Amino acid sequence: MKFKNLRIFGGRAKPAEPDFSRLPQHIAIIMDGNGRWATARALPRTAGHRAGSENFRRIATLCNDIGIRYLTVYAFSTENWSRPKEEVDTIMSLFREYLTEACSELTKKNITLKIIGNTEPLSPDIRELIRETERLSLGNTGLHVNVCLNYGGRAEIVRAAQLLAERVKRGELEPEQIDVACFESCLYTAGIPDPDLIIRPSGELRSSNFLLWQSAYAEFYTTPVLWPDFGREDLFRAISDYQSRSRRFGGLEKR
């Protein structure tokens, strides 16, 4: 395997190397700690988001290289609009930059991009870039990158309930036909497998409205490392930790 004998350097202890033959299929990341990273360097918070956005590119490339199938990142929540305008504008500019670059880069890297969330309140140029990037990257067979943008787990569930209620009202569906699969088909993530591993850098122990439905049986991992500093060693440590766990999905350990 390409990464089997990879040597890892750095200040922190060398993590146990993950088993590349049984990687999690889907990793989700709450990219937290950008503000603290910047404050610790006497920089504006916006500099932290820029560093976080650069790190997102590095981690996505690494996930693609090692063979992860799905990477979902929490980039902007339905609640993040309450932040100062300058901060929101900077994050939007970072999306704009990323999407512009992604239009030409993703096909070279064989990556598919999907935006998850309500894109309606976004500016028309960003919405157009999203449409174009999603269209151009469709059919690539490497990593699927899902960027949660103006996303909230509760809003997603409410939206699914409304879509189903409309179908019932139109007479297309009976209430008793609504089961887990039917509900899932109305989520933004329809067709995407649930995350196996959810990583939250910066040491927080909250889900913050991220993938509420999809995280039912995800394994959570946190580290004090702030997102802009979260590197290859940290990802490998998270994957190794995940591989040491026993996933029972409510059942009993397989013997």
59 binds ligand FPP (CB under 6 A): no
Q: What letter would DSSP give residue 32?
A: -
Q: Least distance from C-beta 37 to ligand FPP, angstroms?
A: 7
Closer CB to ligand FPP, 19 or 89, in the complex: 89
Which of these segments, 69-77, 107-115, 179-187, 216-224, binds ligand FPP (CB under 6 A)?
69-77
32 labelled catalytic: yes
Query: Distance between CA atoms of 32 and 36, rounded to whole angstroms?
Result: 9
Q: Least distance from C-beta 51 to ligand FPP, angstroms?
A: 8
Which of these segments, 6-14, 49-57, 108-116, 229-237, binds ligand FPP (CB under 6 A)?
49-57
Touching ligand FPP, residues 139-168 (CB under 6 A): 147
75 binds ligand FPP (CB under 6 A): yes
Q: What letter would DSSP give residue 25?
A: S
Touching ligand FPP, residues 163-222 (CB under 6 A): 202
Angle at 232 between CA 230 and CA 237, to 5 degrees: 85
Q: Write out the E strands in 143-194.
A: 144-151
Q: Of all residues in this chain, which one has the CB nearest to ligand FPP in the complex?
A: 35
80 labelled catalytic: yes
Binds ligand FPP by CB under 6 A, chosen from 95, 188, 210, 230: 95
Q: What share of the chain is helix, strand, coil (3-state, %, to 5)?
A: 45, 15, 45
Closer CB to ligand FPP, 21 or 82, in the complex: 82
Taking CA atoms, 65 is separated from 2, 59, 125, in Å, by 9, 10, 31
Which of these segments, 6-14, 28-36, 104-112, 246-254, binds ligand FPP (CB under 6 A)?
28-36
Check: CB of residue 26 under 8 Å from CB of residue 195: yes
Order the strands of the 219-223 sheet from edge to edge: 112-116, 144-151, 70-77, 26-30, 197-201, 219-223
Q: Least distance from C-beta 12 to ligand FPP, angstroms?
A: 20
91 binds ligand FPP (CB under 6 A): yes
Question: For residue 123, is it left (φ>0), alpha (ψ between -120 and 50) or beta?
Answer: beta
φ/ψ of 19, rounded to 5, equals: -85, 110
Q: Just list the catalytic residues.
A: 32, 80
- Residues of the shown chain interacting with ligand FPP in the complex, contacts defined by CB under 6 A: 31-36, 49, 52-53, 56, 73, 75-76, 80, 91, 94-95, 98, 147, 202
